[in-house]
Amino acid sequence: MGKRSNRSEALLWNIVFPGFGQLLNGQIIKGIALVILVIIVNMKSKLNQVIFHSFNWKIEQAILIADYQWLMFFPCIYMYSLWDGFKDARGEVGFLYYFPFVVSAYFITVGLIFSSKLTVLGFLLGPVFLPLLFAIIGFIVGIGLRGVAIRMHEYYDSQ
């Protein structure tokens, strides 16, 4: 284990590029492995092109370009990288602290699955914006489920 950084610093660097938070935390092998994995998935899924077209509101073009078989790996890699960099920046975290990250990864993946057809308020959001919306919803649901799980754990521990 290498040096430890500030949690928000590690989290923000991993938002910029998964694996950077691990490098910042001194976890060189894990960080390099995540960076290489993200580059491979990014290239195979054509994610940069998908992002470019999405931000230029050419959603149909983004959908056509996206390789969904590869793109569906990205949410789990991304959310794991965020969680891992956050967790390792300052050691131990609270009970089930990972839950919002895991639930969000699941929601993002579901968002990707439906991103070529599902509209929100009449707008087709595509493979970037719909998963981002689902990420927010997933994180909120994950926080709620974590709270329920903690209460259940406390209840059963008190019995």
Convert the pLDDT of each residue in 32-89 to its tens digit. 999 999 999 999 999 999 999 999 999 999 999 999 999 999 999 999 999 988 888 7
The residue extents of the domains of the chain are 7-158
| Global pTM value | 0.87
**Computed over its alpha carbons, how large is the radius of gyration of the chain?**
17
What is the C-alpha separation between 21 and 14, in angstroms, rounded? 5
Q: At CA 116, angle to CA 52 and CA 36, rounded to 5? A: 50
pLDDT tens figures, 97-136:
899 999 999 999 999 999 999 999 999 999 999 999 999 9
What is the C-alpha separation between 56 and 102, in angstroms, rounded? 30
